[in-house]
Structure 1
């Protein structure tokens, strides 16, 4: 009851309105500084997504500055009067700063991970609980209770307090490591490396190295003997050789694809009949997005061991084609001119290399031509351009009177339809005709 009596005494003896006014001034001062600072950074294009968001309230800088100003005000005010609300505000602002920093780092590192969103919420509730206990003065009591509960792990005794503190310290270390990796990516890799694939290599290597170092440091903080990791490393090697063979193969294949740069982010490829643009090369798989918005998840090992067609040339030109069949007695030069004119009418079709037409085959019902042309902006869609070229080709062939033969499948379908219709008409005629008496 001594703790609660002290809280009640501090609450009754404190000057609530004065403390709230001081707190309001500290918050307004922090908001003004963050808004001015963020505006200057936006003009210089140096806005950090962690400390400064799109608005002053989004980043982690606002609660951190508010914490600093409020803590300084508390140190000054405690010399002249009992303090209650400022002390409570310092604990809450400290918790809010940690929560906002962790949330922004995880959002920047894993923007589409639902697991990270769940970890953010769990971490937020834990930090808020610690802040409340600290404000009420109950944190030392809770620490003593957790320290009294011990768990037996092998031959050693570990208290529940050590496990909780170790888990929190390891989590915070991982967040700091991810933040350092994001700083390295933003200020070094993105500025000095222009190729997207090499950027991805640098980011992946940086994260792996920093996370490994951070994990080792966290384990040493908890009290884990790092020499015991040699046994775990041997077990992990055996697991990689047997159960994790595919995962290790995809992981290494991803680095090979990025380093060799045979396939790069932004290339248009065809893998196992699926055609699209490479949007991301991750550690285990590659994301290929088609022009209609569908995405294909291709294991990195497939890009190394199987045939992959790279439809993007080294100068970032993308090839498209249209195939058409005309009558066997059609004028070849006339058909060629119509096809070339249809491609040249489209503003997205490149003049160099120029469109070309080839007579590729003599089929059973006519001549097969292929129109090839190039574009430099496949990200703007390919289906609409193909449709425009095909409509122009069809219009030109019809205006020139070029015969377009019907394919065998359509002929067979029409024949079957006419046969079925004939049988139906015959049956209907027989049903309507009167029967003769025997």
Structure 2
């Protein structure tokens, strides 16, 4: 359809809307009805306040869909009272044989809104519930006002050519958008159901469950988009150009995003990084909280959550403390004075490790004599833990504190660096030599 025809249809629609407005809106009868509608609105708000407060403070509210329905009903108390007040005034105007077209339209629109909001109240997603309610009420309002057919014709005529014998109308676009939103919403609900079923499937590993859930999510969303566009009557071949442009954008501008996406799938497939693993990457130490599409969430011991791109988890060196098992050996070096009993010191170090709560008995702790330095004998205590996600420095600190207490009680001393300074008084000797030379 060419542009001149579209402009002509728009002028026809505007002419119709102008005539309807002049006939039904710009009149004295409509003015007093608008005043009545405004007064009843403010009266409804005043009357609704105590009722809403009473409804919100009611104990023992139900859960799930019933609770959401009750919340919507609390929000609809004001419109409901407003509708009742208008109905009373409508009956009075009818008895007085007054013009009441505006009141009837207002009451019909308000009743349609109340009904639609009640029907969409059980929907779990509040945004989706409001969207469905707004769309349904808009269509109902256009039908009530008698301009639905003209609006549909205008939207159909507002089209742009997309090739030979192909056009893309505004009506088709709106229907396609609504259809895609609804089908994607259904796909997300289905995905949640699939994830719940997979979480109970203990025959799969956590990585396999996460991978299957992501594949199911992407597949269902892609199917929902295709079905939504097809159900709207759109010829999908008209989007070939946009598909090519998207491919170019991915090739040039979205390389990192694509790399992170596929890196995430690789991590899930090879199971090198799994939720719950304790990892260390570029100075960041923590446990993997979540493997997302673009990033890996790592939470440190201080509660900081790092979002590390999946590409870095593939290309950078990563220390996985719990890849094959959660056993981690710790090393604590101790400096002991030369005049101390070394064998007793080794025994006390092993006892300190055994008395620490998180240290494992098997493999048993060992204390090795590493080296003889200038001012100290170097011992190294080695012990194992199986919960690195609970921290490493803290367990080392607990062992060191017990070693300190035992060494103090047993008289074993920790050496400290000592340096001897020898000061040579060269100034006096120089003066004596000078006096001998003069003599």
Fold shared by both chains (TM-score > 0.5): yes
Aligned to 2:119: 94
Pick closer, same or farther for the CA change 1:152–1:236 going to 2, 3 Å. closer
Higher Cα Rg, which structure: 2
Q: Which of 250, 256, 278 is the aligned partner of 2:288?
A: 278
Q: Which secondary structure does the structure 2 equivalent of 1:287 belong to?
A: strand
Pick closer, same or farther for the CA change 1:306–1:399 going to 2, 3 Å. same
Pick closer, same or farther for the CA change 1:331–1:140 going to 2, 3 Å. farther
Pick closer, same or farther for the CA change 1:222–1:392 going to 2, 3 Å. same
CA deviation vs aligned residue, 1:5-45 (integer Å, no higher than 9, x gap): 9xx9xxxxxxxxxxxxxxxxxxxxxxxxx96xx7xxxxxxx
Q: Which of 129, 152, 160 is the aligned partner of 2:160?
A: 152
Pick closer, same or farther for the CA change 1:126–1:211 going to 2, 3 Å. closer
Contact 1:355 1:373 in 2 (8 A): yes
Q: C-alpha displacement at 1:144, in angstroms?
A: 3.5
**Pair 1:179 & 2:176 matched:** no
Aligned to 2:405: 395
Q: Which of 333, 337, 345 is the aligned partner of 1:327?
A: 337
Pick closer, same or farther for the CA change 1:326–1:249 going to 2, 3 Å. farther
Report the Cα distance in structure 1 between the residues aligned to 2:339 and 2:219, rounded to whole angstroms: 69
Report the Cα distance in structure 2 between the residues aligned to 1:169 and 1:211, rounded to whole angstroms: 13
Aligned to 1:216: 226
The answer for unaligned runs of 5 or more in structure 2 is 1-19, 34-60, 74-106, 422-439
Q: Which piece of structure 1 moves more, 380-389 or 207-216? A: 380-389
TM-score (norm 1): 0.63
Contact 1:281 1:287 in 2 (8 A): yes
Aligned to 1:127: 133
Aligned to 1:66: none
Report the Cα distance in structure 1 between the residues aligned to 2:124 and 2:351, rounded to whole angstroms: 59
Superposition RMSD on alpha carbons, in Å?
4.2
Pick closer, same or farther for the CA change 1:204–1:216 going to 2, 3 Å. same
Aligned to 1:111: none
Pick closer, same or farther for the CA change 1:200–1:165 going to 2, 3 Å. same
Q: C-alpha displacement at 1:201, in angstroms?
A: 0.8
Report the Cα distance in structure 2 between the residues aligned to 1:229 and 1:363, rounded to whole angstroms: 76
Report the Cα distance in structure 1 between the residues aligned to 2:149 and 2:203, rounded to whole angstroms: 49
TM-score (norm 2): 0.63
Q: C-alpha displacement at 1:225, in angstroms?
A: 2.8
The answer for unaligned runs of 5 or more in structure 1 is 9-33, 39-51, 64-82, 104-119, 416-438
Aligned to 1:204: 214
Report the Cα distance in structure 1 between the residues aligned to 2:238 and 2:118, rounded to whole angstroms: 40
Q: Which secondary structure does the structure 2 equivalent of 1:395 belong to?
A: helix
